[in-house]
């Protein structure tokens, strides 16, 4: 008799759980989302998971305005007030620089794009966001000679334009709904690239030629090289440079001498309006995949390290871009081709 009762209880329990899941199909998603930390902080770098509350504010067929104000707007108010409100112009500033505007667009953005946003969020949850962010930030802090102060928010926004970047170190964003970004790759593999810019910037700003095309080329190439070093060669070089394909990389190697000789005259240009930095517009090399100066900067840094030793990449923080080029032996290498 006792065994029969136990069996009935087990069946009822299983039925209840199954029925409960059917009645609340999003329970598991919300539960996993709640487990994501509001923020991850290592030294002076903070990553805020604002997207979490942009979704949770819509639980139970209602809209929690207070959650948007406290957890989305006030959580990183400088980003909204001083970056988004500025870059998207006076006409749209009211959407970002006050609680009412933030409530307005957050009320409709998620419901309108629910399937897309849920899909993007579920992919992030599979990465184990807490672990990846903590691991990468700790490792980064151990490798670099200077600890930058930075605040980065992962979020959805009604207008995309930042991708992954920002106006200042304390106003960074990763736009999950930006078609030009790959959030999973960025958080898993691309975060060291952006953070290295913040470290290098401290040293680069002392250079009187900091705005030259060569300076920007070394900056981007160094960030790509640092990413490759960060993962200890476990990712391909071409993946470290804008997630290139091997075919992309082969095209560059095939045209390496022609590229260098063609863009060298623009190294000193400070206008930013040159084929090295804007090949997509100037069409100096129409067939060039990805971004020309990222690849060239990587190659210069790579040659520097080949010449000066495995750990010599650390020298680059304190060298001017011209010194990096001159000491890399890259031009001699090009002339030998």
pLDDT tens readout for residues 309-325: 999 999 999 999 999 99
Q: Look at residues 61, 160, 174 and name the one whose alpha carbon lies nearest to residue 111.
A: 61
C-alpha–C-alpha distance, residues 206 and 185, integer Å: 32
Q: What Cα–Cα distance (Å) separates residue 1 from each residue in 10, 15, 36?
A: 14, 21, 46
DSSP 38-67: SEEEETTEEEE-THHHHHHTTGGG---HHH
Question: pLDDT tens digit string along 55-89?
Answer: 999 998 899 999 999 999 999 999 999 999 999 99
| pLDDT higher than 90, residue 22 | no
Helix 114-126 × helix 27-35 angle, to 10°: 50
| 149 phi/psi in degrees, rounded to 5 | -95, 125
**Helix intervals (H) in 183-245:** 183-185, 191-204, 213-230, 237-240
Evaluated on CA atoms 16, 17, 19, 20, the torsion sign reads positive
Per-position b or e across 174-186, b if 16+ CB within 10 A of its CB: bbbbbeebebeeb
SS3 of 179, please?
Answer: coil
Question: pLDDT tens digit string along 261-275?
Answer: 999 999 999 999 999
Pairing of strands 164-166, 172-175: antiparallel
Half-sphere exposure for 2 (CA within 13 Å, toward CB)? 0
C-alpha–C-alpha distance, residues 197 and 200, integer Å: 5
pLDDT average, residue stretch 28-53: 95
pTM reported for the whole predicted model = 0.84
Q: How confident is the model at residue 206 (pLDDT cuts 50, 70, 90)?
A: confident
């Amino acid at each position: 008799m006792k065994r029969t009762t136990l069996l009935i209880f087990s069946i009822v329990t299983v039925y209840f759980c199954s029925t409960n899941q059917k009645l609340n199909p999003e329970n598991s998603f919300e539960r996993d989302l709640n487990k994501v930390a509001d923020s991850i902080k290592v030294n002076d770098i903070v990553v805020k998971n604002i997207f979490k509350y942009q979704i949770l504010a819509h639980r139970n067929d209602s809209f929690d305005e207070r959650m948007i104000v406290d957890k989305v707007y006030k959580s990183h108010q400088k980003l909204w007030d001083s970056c988004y409100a500025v870059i998207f112009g006076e006409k749209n500033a009211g959407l970002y620089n006050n609680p009412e505007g933030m409530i307005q667009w957050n009320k409709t953005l998620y419901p309108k794009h629910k399937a897309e946003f849920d899909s993007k969020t579920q992919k992030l949850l599979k990465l184990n966001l807490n672990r990846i962010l903590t691991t990468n930030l700790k490792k980064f802090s151990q490798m670099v000679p200077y600890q930058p102060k930075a605040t980065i928010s992962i979020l959805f926004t009604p207008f995309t334009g930042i991708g992954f970047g920002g106006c200042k170190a304390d106003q960074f964003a990763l736009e999950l709904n930006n078609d030009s970004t790959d959030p999973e790759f960025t958080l898993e593999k691309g975060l060291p690239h952006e953070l290295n810019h913040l470290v290098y910037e401290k040293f680069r700003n002392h250079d009187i030629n900091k705005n030259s095309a060569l300076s920007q080329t070394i900056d981007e190439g160094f960030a790509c090289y640092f990413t490759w070093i960060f993962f200890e060669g476990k990712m391909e070089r071409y993946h470290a440079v804008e997630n290139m394909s091997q075919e992309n990389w082969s095209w560059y190697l095939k045209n390496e001498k022609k590229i260098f000789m063609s863009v060298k005259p623009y190294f000193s240009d400070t206008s930013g309006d040159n084929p090295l930095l804007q090949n997509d517009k100037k069409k100096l090399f129409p067939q060039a995949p990805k971004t020309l100066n990222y690849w060239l900067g990587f190659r210069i840094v790579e040659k520097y390290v080949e010449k000066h030793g495995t750990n010599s990449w650390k020298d680059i923080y304190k060298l001017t871009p011209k010194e990096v080029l001159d000491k890399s032996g890259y031009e001699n290498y090009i002339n030998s081709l």
